[in-house]
A and B are shown apart, each in its own frame.
Chain A
Amino acid sequence: MSSEEHSPGSDQHEQTGIASAQAQVSADNPRVVSRRWLLFKAGIAVNAAVGLVLAVPVLRYLLSPWRSDSSYTSWVSLGAIDAFPNGETRLAFYKNPATRPWDGETDNVACYVRREGASQFRVFAINCAHLGCPVRWFPQSQLFMCPCHGGVYYADGSRASGPPERGLFTYEWKVVDGDLQIDAGQMPTLSNSAKLVNISNATGDQKCNG
């Protein structure tokens, strides 16, 4: 504490020192000044270069989820086809192909399977084509209804009424050794529906409305 009592003197000294340095800089010969400024600019340039170099891996890390749709999807099994009675629509579950140990229950995904013949299926996403809420199947009236904004779909997944602009999203499917498999892996949305709406290849499905 006692040493602090003497500090005003030293402060004054420092201040005069700074003041004289400033006077020197402003009155100094321009070559010295320009050299210091050059070094200052060089310092900025070094930092900018380091920043740019570092930005590349940082951006790569930040943008890593941004991948092509196909890199996320793969064939997953929904179980034996015997579990799906002919002419009925059943709720089925699968584990998302890409998982992390801390996903908990969130990587379980639901979908609807409609069997239309011995080896004819339609697999619908659970997500309403409007805003992704889970649609519910009512076998009595043969309709899917959405609890959010009242979108309704027919049994074949086509739009019946409400705000959705199109039918339910569908998955591509195939039967391998009596096992129903679908090409799944990402949340179906309007931006990737082109991949999920199965128009011709495996099933002979009709194109969804919209």
Chain B
Amino acid sequence: MQRLSKAATRIYAWFERRLQLEGPVKDAALHPVPRNTASWAYVFGSAAFTLLFLQIFTGILLALIYVPSAAEAWNSLNILNHQIPLGWFIRALHGWGSNFMVAIVLIHMAQVFLFGAYKFPRELTWIVGVFLLLMTLGMAFTGQVLRSDQDAYWGLGIGASILSRVPFIGGGLVHLLLGGPIIAGATLSRFFTLHVFVIPGMLLVFAFVHVWMVLKLGVNEWPMPGRLVNRATYIQEYQHLAHTDGIPFVPGAFWKDLVFSGAVIAAVAVCAFAFGPFGPTGQPDPTIIQTVPKPDFFFLWIYTVLSYLPPEMETPFILIVPLVAIAALLVLPFYASEGEKSWHRRPVAVLAVATIAVGWGVLTQLGTNTPWSPHMSAWSSDPLPTHVLHNATPLVREGAVVFQAKQCRNCHSIGGAGGERGPTLDSVATRLTIDQMRFKVVSGGGNMPAYGKNLSPSEIEALVNFLETLHPAGEPPAYDASRRAVETSQSNPPSARPAGSSPANRKSNP
């Protein structure tokens, strides 16, 4: 036993003489950090780093099977899912790992922002971190493309459509993005190159630079309200804090990083096992147009924004806002490199994070439900509730047929079924008079197409008579007061009977 350990020591010494890593590693591991940074709030950066390596590892495993060719990629994914033993699990690990990585990177960013960690002397650490975030999102998008299915295909179409709006060089940029005139073999090859070589290479270099600076500049101390950062004195104050009230980074702070990283990897594995891999959905055949493309979870908010923006604001918004946002993140450490770090005295920072988080949540929730999209099969698959047609006249029944057959249901729900693009019509008769409905159907307006050319007069008549019956039991349909006055005066001379006092003898079909 003793001989064995002696041999081990000698082997270690042999390597150490040549590598000479002991010094730097000891320096990095044992450097003192302020005691209160050994906190569970400080574990997200290391978890993101760990997830990066999980992604590299599972990515290499997938590359053993995956074929980066537009003709074969989809097939190879299905073989991974169904034929290779546990291929589905490796795909699920990679997919869930990517979701976790985006989430953890964002949490890490919010944490260092709220803790003022971007201030002097850690400005460059923050800037490198911004690029790491962009690369992480780039990996998420290119990875979604490699899952070469219908969503990937039409997602690329959306990307190309956005890029085409760049003034002057938009067309050329689309060619560069797609590797040619259309989404095809060349496109998948270049996204494979980006996802497997270019971005991961940069990601690793930037991540090591990021960690290097954390080691050299020290972990950001726990911010105390009133302890302001001053360029002239900060380094000295930090060193004083780290040495008088500090602990060695390993194991003092590092054990929490280790535990959290392990827990995150375990969570990825549990999600992968329980929920399985993402897709692939239908094959990437552009002649199959019965598809409802949707981006992955973390890009759903963009999808929502693009549906709610007024058309004239869309191009400026999608071209300028991302650049402004990135520029703001890059300029932040120079704008506020000194001063207060504590979130207790930075209400704007807290509000900004809260606003972005709530906004993101709401937009993502809307993107999941897509109330702006027509339900393409509602007209033929969602039957009208029977009570709507109870005791209906033949004209009203005919109107109900028109309502279904002309795809009105794709955008208007009745009885909770149908599209949500337009208003629900359960009580439309209480909101619009029959003349207003006729006008709306014929000439459209807002987000409603004009049906004047597509419906015959008798169809329109039947349709509005059907709509006229859609009102709650106790609520009479809306009527046009002046119209009724005219009708009343025609049947009875105004001197005999005041118009307002007559019972509603309004014709449903004037």
* Residue positions of A touching B, CB distance < 8 A: 1, 4, 7, 63, 65-67, 69, 72-73, 91, 93, 96, 98-110, 126-127, 130-136, 138, 140-143, 145-150, 152, 154-155, 160-165, 185-187, 189-192
Q: Would you call A106 and B181 a contact (CB within 8 A)?
A: no
CB distance from B141 to the nearest CB of A (A): 15
A65 near B178 with CB under 8 A, answer yes
Which residues from chain A contact B292 at a C-beta distance below 8 Å? 147-148
Does the CB pair A104–B69 fall under 8 Å? yes
Chain A interface, >50% SS class: loop
Contacts A133-B157, A161-B444; is A104 near B286 (CB within 8 Å)? no
Is B70 part of the binding interface, using a Cβ–Cβ cutoff of 8 Å?
Answer: yes
Tally of contacts, chain A with chain B, CB under 8 A: 209
- Considering only CB atoms, which chain B residue lies closest to A71 in the complex? B181
Verify if B158 is at the interface (C-beta below 8 Å from A): yes
Q: Residues of B contacting A155 with CB < 8 Å?
A: 454
Interface code B409-430, partner A: CB below 8 Å = 1, 0 otherwise?
A: 0110000000001000000000
20 further contact pairs, Cβ within 8 A, besides A126-B289, A189-B160: A66-B172, A100-B184, A102-B72, A102-B185, A103-B71, A104-B70, A105-B286, A108-B287, A110-B286, A110-B287, A130-B306, A131-B158, A136-B290, A141-B407, A150-B421, A150-B447, A160-B450, A163-B306, A185-B181, A191-B166
A20 to chain B, nearest CB (A): 22
Residue of A nearest to B75 (CB): A104
A150 close to B307 (CB less than 8 A): yes
Which B residues fall within an 8 A CB radius of A?
10, 14, 17, 69-72, 74, 153-154, 157-158, 160-162, 164-166, 170-172, 174-176, 178-187, 283-287, 289-293, 303, 306-307, 309, 311-312, 314, 372-374, 376, 379, 405-408, 410-411, 421, 444, 446-451, 453-454
Given contacts A102-B69, A104-B72, A106-B153, whether A190 and B185 have CB atoms under 8 Å apart is no
Given contacts A65-B176, A163-B307, contact A190 B161 (CB under 8 A): yes
Instruction: Select one of A134, A140, A186, A191 contacting B286, CB under 8 A.
Output: A134
User: Complex Cα distance A126/B314, Å?
Assistant: 21
Contact between A104 and B311, CB atoms less than 8 A apart: no
Among A4, A101, A107, A130, contact of B182 (Cβ-Cβ < 8 Å): A107
Q: Whole-angstrom distance between the alpha carbons of A186 and B373 in the complex? A: 27
Known contacts A63-B176, A65-B176, A98-B180: A143-B449 contact under CB 8 Å: yes
Which residues from B are CB-within-8-Å of A190? 161, 164-165, 170
Cross-chain contact of B291 among A67, A142, A147, A192 (Cβ < 8 A): A147
Q: Are B160 and A4 in contact (CB under 8 A)?
A: no
- A154/B157 contact (C-beta < 8 A), A103-B71, A109-B286, A160-B444 known: no
CB distance from A94 to the nearest CB of B (A): 10
Q: Which of A136, A150, A154, A187 contacts B181 (CB 8 A)?
A: A187
Closest residue of chain A to B72 (Cβ to Cβ) is A104
Complexed CA–CA distance, A163 and B182 (Å): 24
Residue of A nearest to B304 (CB): A149
Q: Do the beta carbons of B289 and A96 come within 8 Å of each other?
A: no
Which residues in A have their C-beta under 8 angstroms from that of B306?
Answer: 130-131, 149, 163
| 30 pairs from A and B in contact (CB 8 Å cutoff) | A98-B180, A100-B185, A100-B186, A103-B185, A104-B74, A106-B183, A107-B184, A126-B289, A131-B306, A132-B157, A132-B158, A134-B291, A138-B407, A141-B451, A143-B449, A147-B292, A147-B293, A149-B372, A150-B421, A154-B449, A155-B454, A160-B450, A162-B447, A163-B306, A163-B307, A185-B181, A187-B181, A189-B174, A190-B170, A191-B166
Interface-central residue, A1, A135, A187, A189, by most chain B CB under 10 Å: A187
